Amino acid sequence: MNSRGSAVTAATASDVDHIVISGMAIEAPGGVDSPGAYWSALEASKELIGPFPRDRGWAVDDLLSVSDLEGWSHVSDAGGFLADAAEFDPSFFGISQREALATDPQQRVALRVAWRALENAGINPGALAGEDAGCFIGCSPMEYGPYGAELNEYNGLRIIGHGLLSVAGRVSHCLGLTGPSMTVDAACASSLTAVHLAAAAVRDGDCEWALAGAVCVMGSPIAFYEFAKHNALSTDGHCRSYSDDATGTLWGEGAGIVIVERESRAKRLGHRVYGRVLGSHHNHNGKGKPILVPRTDAQERLIRKTIDRAGIDPALVGMIEGHGTATRAGDPVELAALQNTYGTAGSEPLLGSVKSNAGHAQASAGMLGLVKLLLAGRHGMIPPTLFSDNPTTRVDWDRSSLRLATKLQPWEPTNGLRYGAVSSFGAGGSNAHAIIAMPVCEENDDF
């Protein structure tokens, strides 16, 4: 049964032309540059955290020194940083060296991840000029390079090179796509919101297919300063999602892009089907609490709406990839919403967060979670969440059937499908959720 009591199940919807994910690419900390490498790290319970980058002009000693200030969190020399954020071949993408230097690395990373996602789907990226395809890319704030008011050789290039609007536009322009193109800024909910918008655009006929995803490369350490001041930054250099030992979040970076199209089109063209987007939704917390504070009622409404749109019994959902920021404010609120929805559905879904492996990738956080979910469904295994041996005591686990994924374990399908959910919540009050059904895969490929 779904949350409104109707007997709609996935089995009765076999004739629906679903929106599916048919290609994907990812970059994550620790040198991860492919879905295969990502899965290997998740399967092995690997933590992908490293020291602050020393090649970005950051005053690292100043950042670490805030630990001595009264009322501030301790700042560890740690985060989830992309190893190759500065690497780029501008001529490959038809960009001059001078323009590349004036372009935020988030645009550059988005270009190469988009290219790989297309190749992963079996689409020739070099033959798309004029294609009716959309592009929806979430992005973190751009803080790269000098201010626009400075007089130098890069004047005239930074309105695009530093513009948030240009991330999706750069990808569409490079590939020659003519469908809707939009950079999405919903803070940490950006990537799942981008997927939601892309799926809606394809469903409504605004484009034939679309790229959807997000990117985060930190141009400055401002996020570490802000959360240290709020005492919401991890004090030990680990992101302990849903743990009683959590002291705060740990910032990270990453990028992920998926290909979204109708299932009939994917099958006609011989594309893989990694998962069906059964339902997605995004909303806002509204008034009542400070803008940074999450709300259980808003997240619960979000999840119930997504379940209704998916038209499934929530008990079918076997894996939940949560937001799991490891903050004292965020995790209990999220867990309460999950317990009030999936936790009372009569099954025992396993919950986790990839932030425990790679840190909080901000705008790209939901995309790292979505790709993890797709890979888990494809391999039929649910990877463990690190630091899950001591669950937070700020929620009542006994009244819920939710359980943390503490070890790698098999994920059994139902009627040939594995059902999973993924959440992300933004600091500005935005929330996003999606339910994905992944077909059992008999292929042995390395992506």
Catalytic residue among 135, 188, 207, 239: 188
Cα torsion at 198, 6, 341, 368 (round to 10°)? Answer: -20
Helix, strand, coil percentages (3-state) for the chain, rounded to 5, are: 35, 20, 45
Catalytic residue among 196, 282, 360, 433: 360
Residue pair 363/215 in contact by the 8 Å Cβ criterion: yes
Phi and psi at residue 229, in whole multiples of 5°? -65, -35
Phi and psi at residue 79, in whole multiples of 5°? 180, 175
Residues present in the chain in total: 447
Q: Which ranges of 311-403 does DSSP label H, i.e. alpha helix?
A: 330-341, 355-358, 365-379
Catalytic residue among 18, 162, 282, 323: 323
**Dist. CA 416–CA 437, nearest whole Å:** 10
Strands (E), 163-274: 181-184, 209-216, 254-262
- Catalytic, 239? Answer no
Q: How far is CA 376 from CA 200, 274, 370, 402, 403, in A?
A: 25, 10, 10, 18, 17
Instruction: Please name every residue paired with 133 in a beta bridge, in sequence order, or none if there are none.
Output: 209
- Catalytic, 360? Answer yes
**Dist. CA 120–CA 35, nearest whole Å:** 10
The catalytic site residues sit at 188, 323, 360
